[in-house]
């Protein structure tokens, strides 16, 4: 697979470019390479999708921040590409919305005449619209996040009306041409040398009107339907991971494709483990005797308990590594380790015999204490 180009390079702007500069650059490039203006150029569609994908990311401050930090990998975990540009539907929807906002009309205001109708025009030329994306949050367990899982998710979304098949008209009836725009979906006015086309206010750009609305969807062509879908959660997700389930969003109007479903992941805290990247962290309390004389302790891991050797003289805070006992990398780059931090517990509530033995031990020299000896030497140097 070819390496993706830098989004700033695609639009020809600097990394510090303002939103106005990004919009101007996109408008210039998108109008230049749109397939409707380059019917003989087989590469124009790919270039148009590329500049539109770059604009979609850089025009959104949150996505732009993610891209500046992590590059293209920031969006790869969201179900593959993360951008939704497998076909022209998404790119045309973004361009249509951009031109609408720029000029105020259904064809991008004064820019409608540049394309002369085409895929953005009226009179039966209107294309189906891609449905809106849906977002939801999901809380999963710590082990589910570590190993991956499958969940059933219930969502309420617009789908093509099963009664009228998306037409909006009651079965057995039809649509008639809009009398205000004569079926073009636009009303045009001339101001000097400009010919301005705007969306028809009566039919909202449809060019047609429903005579008898469908009783199921009330003429909308779509109805709210509850669905339960299976969602695969990959191993290695963390709180804040955003997964994309392609094609499970709202149905598009006029038979357009579904949008996507985005799921924001929240991982429950674990009573023993914590996660740092692909590594699992835990603390292991050991007794003074175990740390002093050495021992073998049972350590919990996500895959069950294992035996770990504690060398004699182990200090509190010492970290041991259990290789391969961590979490799988979300992008397939191996498995992390488990880091075990030893915490030496000082005994309390000693009886008289135990206290006497410790005093005897201290009187005999108390063993080697390099940290204490080093600290004493530092104090001497400071106050000399």
pLDDT, mean of residues 359-372: 74
Question: Mean pLDDT for the chain?
Answer: 81
- Residue 324 binned pLDDT confidence (cut-offs 50, 70, 90): very high
pTM of the model: 0.56
pLDDT for residue 2: 60
Q: Is the pLDDT of residue 116 over 90?
A: no
- With tokens 């049972």, the residue in question is 298
SS (H, E, C) the chain: CCCCCCHHHHHCCCCCCCHHHHHHHHHHHHHHHCHHHCCCCCCHHHHHHHHHHHHHHHCCHHHHHHHHHHHHHHHCCCCCCCCCCCCHHHHHHHHHHHHHHHHCCCCCHHHHHHHCCHHHCCCCCCCCCCCCCEEEEEEECHHHHHHCEEEEEEEEEEEECCCCCCCCECCCCCEEECCCCCCCCEEEEEECCEEEEEECCCCCCCCEEECCECCCCCCCCEEEEEEEEEEEECCCCCCCCEEEECCCCCCCHHHCCCCCEEEEEEECCCCCCEEECCEEEEEEEEEHHHHHHCEEEEEEECCEEEEEEECCCCCCCCEEEECCCCCECCCCCCECCEEEEEEEECCCCCCHHHHHHHHHHHHCCCCCCHHHHHHHHHHHHHCC
Q: Say if residue 194's pLDDT is above 80.
A: no
> What is the predicted pLDDT for the residue at 39?
63
Most confident of 56-60, 243-247, 295-299: 295-299
Q: Is the pLDDT of residue 231 over 70?
A: yes
Segment 162-177, tens digit of pLDDT: 888 878 888 888 788 8
Residue range 187-198: average pLDDT? Answer: 66
Residues 239-252 have pLDDT tens digits of 999 999 988 998 88
Would you tell me how many other CB atoms lie within 10 Å of the CB of residue 356?
11
Question: What is the band of 79 on the pLDDT scale with cuts at 50, 70, 90?
Answer: very low
pLDDT score for 112: 42
**Residue 193's pLDDT is what?**
54
| Most confident of the following: 35-49, 183-197, 209-223 | 209-223
**pLDDT over 60 (residue 58):** yes
* pLDDT surpasses 80 at 329: yes
Q: What is the pLDDT of residue 113?
A: 38
Is the CB of residue 158 less than 8 Å from the CB of residue 218? no
Mean pLDDT for the stretch of residues 293-318: 94
Beta bridge partners of 208: 177
The pLDDT value recorded for residue 107 is: 39
Share of the chain above pLDDT 70, in %: 82
pLDDT of residue 366: 66
Higher pLDDT, 185 or 283: 283
Q: For 80-90, what is each residue's pLDDT tens digit?
A: 344 455 556 67
What pLDDT was estimated at residue 111? Answer: 43
Q: Enumerate domains of the chain plus CATH numbers.
A: 1-127 (1.10.287.110), 133-166+215-268 (2.60.260.20), 274-382 (2.60.260.20)
Residue 317: the pLDDT is 93
**Calculated CA dihedral for residues 284, 324, 318, 344, nearest 10 degrees:** 10
Question: Which of 107-116, 304-313, 345-354 is predicted with the least confidence, judged by mean pLDDT?
Answer: 107-116
Instruction: Identify the weakest region by mean pLDDT among 113-122, 130-139, 236-245, 305-314.
Output: 113-122
């Amino acid at each position: 697979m070819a390496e993706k180009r830098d989004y700033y390079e695609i639009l020809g702007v600097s990394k510090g470019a303002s939103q106005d500069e990004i919009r101007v650059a996109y408008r210039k490039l998108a109008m230049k390479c749109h397939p409707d203006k380059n019917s003989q150029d087989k590469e124009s569609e790919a270039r148009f999708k590329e500049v539109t994908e770059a604009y979609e990311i850089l025009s959104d401050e949150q996505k732009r921040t993610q891209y500046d930090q992590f590059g293209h990998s920031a969006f790869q975990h969201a179900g593959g590409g993360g951008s939704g540009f497998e076909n022209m539907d998404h790119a045309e929807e973004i361009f249509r919305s951009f031109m609408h906002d720029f000029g105020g009309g259904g064809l991008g205001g004064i820019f409608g005449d540049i394309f002369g109708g085409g895929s953005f025009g009226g009179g039966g030329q209107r294309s189906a619209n891609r449905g809106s994306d849906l977002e939801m949050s999901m809380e999963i367990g710590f082990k589910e996040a570590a190993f991956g899982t499958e969940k059933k998710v219930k969502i309420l979304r617009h789908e093509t009306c099963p009664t009228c098949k998306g037409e909006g008209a009651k079965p057995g009836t039809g649509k008639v041409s809009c009398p205000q725009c004569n079926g073009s979906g636009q009303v045009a006015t001339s101001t000097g040398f400009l010919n301005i086309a705007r969306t028809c206010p009566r039919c909202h750009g449809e060019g047609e009107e429903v005579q008898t609305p469908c009783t199921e969807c009330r003429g909308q062509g779509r109805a709210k339907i509850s669905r339960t879908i299976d969602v695969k959660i990959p191993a290695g997700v963390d709180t804040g991971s955003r997964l994309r389930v392609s094609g499970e969003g709202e149905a598009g109007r006029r038979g357009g494709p579904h949008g996507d479903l985005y799921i924001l992941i929240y991982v429950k805290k674990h009573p023993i483990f914590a996660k740092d990247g692909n590594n699992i962290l835990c603390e292991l309390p050991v007794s003074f005797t175990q740390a002093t004389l050495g021992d073998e302790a049972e350590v919990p891991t996500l895959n069950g308990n294992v035996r770990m050797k504690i060398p004699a003289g182990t200090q509190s805070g010492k970290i041991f590594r259990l290789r391969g006992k961590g979490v799988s990398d979300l992008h397939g780059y191996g498995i992390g380790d488990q880091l075990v931090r030893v915490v030496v517990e000082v005994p309390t509530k000693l009886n008289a015999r135990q206290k006497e033995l410790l005093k005897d031990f201290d009187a005999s020299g108390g063993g080697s204490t390099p940290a204490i000896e080093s600290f004493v030497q530092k104090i001497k140097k400071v106050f000399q």
